[in-house]
Amino acid sequence: MEKRYDVLIVGSGVGGLYTALSLPESLSVLVLSKKSDTLSNSNLAQGGVAAVLSFENDSFDLHINDTLIAGGQANDLDAVTVLVHEGPDEVRKIMEYGVDFDKNPDGSIQKTLEGGHSRRRIVHHKDTTGAEIVKKLLEELHRRKNITQRSNALVYNLEKVKSGFRADILLDGATPVSVFADYCVLATGGIGRAYKYTTNPSVATGDGIRLAYELGASIKNLSYVQFHPTAFNGPNREQFLISEAVRGEGAYLLNCNRERFMQRYDKRLELAPRDVVSRAIILESRKTGSNNFYLDITHRDKEYLINRFPGIYAGCLEQGIDITKDLIPIFPCQHYLMGGIDVSLESRTSVSRLYAVGECSHTGVHGKNRLASNSLLEALVFGRRAAEDIAKCVNAGFAHVAVSDKELDISGAPLPKGIRTEIRSMLQRSYFVIPDIDSARTSLKQVDRILRRLHSGKFAITPDYCEALSLATVAHIILKEVDER
Ligand SMILES: Cc1cc2nc3c(=O)[nH]c(=O)nc-3n(C[C@H](O)[C@H](O)[C@H](O)COP(=O)(O)OP(=O)(O)OC[C@H]3O[C@@H](n4cnc5c(N)ncnc54)[C@H](O)[C@@H]3O)c2cc1C
């Protein structure tokens, strides 16, 4: 790693990788991953990417309309229009990078259906679409001489210095270093780990949102949290997702009496948008007094299921469930964040030269509830837009960052145990599918006490401390928004 780069990208999910690949090769770029380069929400994406690739039975207007309906019409129409109109070209671009979407026997790309989509428009690589995209983007990244990628590099502090940024990084969990960059792109993904149960991996602690907040960037709609209705109902914190595509391919939702119940809540039945289905499950659980819910796809052909959903088949088998003959136990859990660091259509934050892309950003495309398979698309479209905007600024001759080193001291007291667990329990209790406003107010006071303690105690800078600070900051912003509604 050098001391100075033109562009620093924090995160190696689809947002960070695609931004890096879209920058001119004349720029020096550093891409950092907190842990391994493939531990990310992107790598877990199952369903696919939504895009209108042909107009035979679909149109941009239909995709826009589906996005607005799912988002409760709280979306930014300009951003949605950009997403839908520019998305198909990004999908074609990643195919040039080698991404292999499933094909029909005649060679055309297969398209699947998910909740809230009025047409089959989701392209996929079996049920491991994200891993396929990340793999091919990383391969392309490693071919680029201008890009350096470093894993196990946690950015714990970001400061504005003359004409750019200084990022303080913990390498391998223990060694502090600083790098300087003219531009910084935050692509740090979601906040799932602020909840007791989530589909997100361990890196999803909202670090980028905290770093932007500390720099004074505007954060918007952080309380727009998405709960996926059908995560595998197991004992682990990280819940295995049963993609919406399973319902798209005909799975029924059943209550504890093994009865379909969605007809009581929405005429779109199992294919209603995620927030509607999650809410229906919680209301139904109150009615039946049971948290036992199931997906039933046993009526589909066994070979078809194993071939179409190999990841879900294998993942469920590990838990003792054979999806070709057993009901799959499911329950809602935290899945995605619609709000985030507020950005313009060029992915600019309110802080000069600071950009945000992907799940940590708020472009406004998702409104109150993301339409399935629109987020990888958002990371691609707005990642490329960030790169283009940075290239424009560079061409306009913006000044270079001044490199001025400072001694980094990461020593201090060890973090007391239990802080992260306390935050997770608070959000799970007070701000799940149907919020409990009184409990949210109490939790806000509790989280503010934790934040004060984290800021005022002289704690050692460790990954645990940094993540606790991020989780507390994120919980504070969410609960404050709820309190002010
Ligand atoms: C199980 C699952 C299934 C999904 N399925 C789909 C789907 O089918 N279609 C769809 O469109 N969307 C899907 N999503 C959502 C989608 O995957 C994500 O929204 C999207 O991939 C986010 O990409 P990203 O680049 O913003 O963040 P991520 O892919 O989460 O990447 C975040 C990166 O930031 C790094 N990072 C974080 N903090 C720091 C730090 N402090 N220092 C250094 N690096 C840091 C991490 O190491 C990681 O590399 C799914 C999500 C999950 C969890």
The span from the CA of 136 to the CA of 247, in Å, is 28
| Ligand 1 mean position, distance from CA 195 (Å) | 16
Backbone angles phi, psi at 159, to 5 degrees: -125, 145
Query: What is the reported pLDDT for 393?
Result: 94
- 87-101, 356-370, 397-411, 421-435: least confidently modelled range: 397-411
pLDDT at residue 114 greater than cutoff 90: no
Q: Is 246 in the pocket of ligand 1 (CB under 6 A)?
A: no
Domain co-membership, 192 together with 245 = no
The parent domain of residue 54 ranges over 4-224+338-395
Q: Is 199 in the pocket of ligand 1 (CB under 6 A)?
A: yes
Measured from the CA of 198, which atom of ligand 1 is nearest?
53
Regarding the beta carbon of 376 and ligand 1, being less than 6 Å apart is answered: yes
Beta bridge partners of 30: 8, 148
Please name the residue whose Cα sits nearest to atom 27 of ligand 1: 189
Helix, strand or coil, per DSSP, at residue 393: helix
Verify that 357 and 217 share a domain, yes or no: yes
Which of residues 245 and 161 earns the better pLDDT score? 161
Measured in Å, residue 290 CA sits from the centre of ligand 1 at: 32
Instruction: Determine whether 353 is an active site residue.
Output: no
Residue 154 near ligand 1, beta carbon < 6 Å: yes
Q: Rounded to the nearest 5°, which phi and psi values hold at 160?
A: -80, 125
Measured in angstroms, how far is the CA atom of residue 213 from the centroid of ligand 1? Answer: 19
Q: Is residue 406 pLDDT above 90, yes or no?
A: no
User: Does the residue 412 lie in any domain?
Assistant: no
Helix (H, G, I), strand (E, B) or coil at 46: coil
Better pLDDT: 342 or 483: 342
Is 325 in the same domain as 357?
A: no
Q: Judge whether 288 lies within some domain.
A: yes
What is the mean pLDDT of the segment spanning 179-200? 97
Does 461 share its domain with 350?
Answer: no
404 inside domain: no
* pLDDT value at 39 more than 90: yes
Which amino acid residue places its CA nearest to atom 11 of ligand 1? 373
Residue 115 has pLDDT above 90, yes or no: no
pLDDT recorded at residue 339: 98
pLDDT for 402 beyond 90: no
Q: Does ligand 1 come within 6 angstroms of the Cβ of 188?
A: yes
Last residue of a domain, one of 333, 360, 386: 333
Which CATH number goes with the domain that contains 314?
Answer: 3.90.700.10
- Are 214 and 318 contained in the same domain? no
Q: What is the pLDDT of residue 438?
A: 95
User: How high is the pLDDT of residue 218?
Assistant: 98
Whether residues 33 and 166 share a domain: the answer is yes
Taking 90 as the threshold, does the pLDDT of residue 7 lie above it?
A: yes
For CA atoms 29, 35, 39, 42, give the dihedral sign. Answer: negative
The answer to the question of residue 47 being in a domain is yes
List the catalytic residue out of 121, 193, 210, 274.
274
Please indicate, yes or no, if residue 406 is contained in any of the structural domains: no
Q: Are residues 310 and 342 in the same domain?
A: no
Judge if 147 and 199 occupy the same domain.
yes
Q: Is the pLDDT of residue 323 over 90?
A: yes
Res 253: pLDDT = 98
Residue 203 maps to a domain: yes
Q: What does the pLDDT look like over 62-97, one tens digit per residue?
A: 999 999 999 999 999 999 999 999 999 999 999 999
Is residue 295 scored above 90 in pLDDT? yes
Task: Name the 3-class secondary structure at 122.
Answer: strand
Q: Is the C-beta atom of 185 inside 6 A of ligand 1?
A: no
pTM: 0.96
Helix (H) or strand (E) holding 154: strand 153-161
Q: Whose CA is nearest to atom 8 of ligand 1?
A: 47
* Same domain (yes/no): 8, 153: yes
User: What pLDDT, on the 0 to 100 scale, is given for residue 240?
Assistant: 93
Query: Average of pLDDT values for 39-65?
Result: 96
Strand order in the sheet with 293-296: 225-232, 328-337, 293-296, 252-254
Mean pLDDT for 222-234 is: 95
Same domain, 354 and 479: no
| Same domain membership, residue 249 and residue 193 | no
Residue 35 belongs to domain with CATH number: 3.50.50.60
Structural domain includes residue 246? yes
Atom 37 (ligand 1): residue with closest C-alpha?
188
* Structural domains of the chain, count: 3
The answer to whether residue 408 sits within a structural domain is no
Q: pLDDT tens digit string along 444-454?
A: 999 999 999 99
Strand segments (E) across 319-400: 328-337, 340-342, 354-356, 361-362
DSSP summary character for residue 260: B
The answer on 109 and 218 residing in a single domain is yes
pLDDT for res 113: 87
Model pLDDT, residue 485: 84
Using DSSP's 3-state secondary structure scheme, residue 415 falls into: coil
CB of 198 shorter than 6 A to ligand 1: no
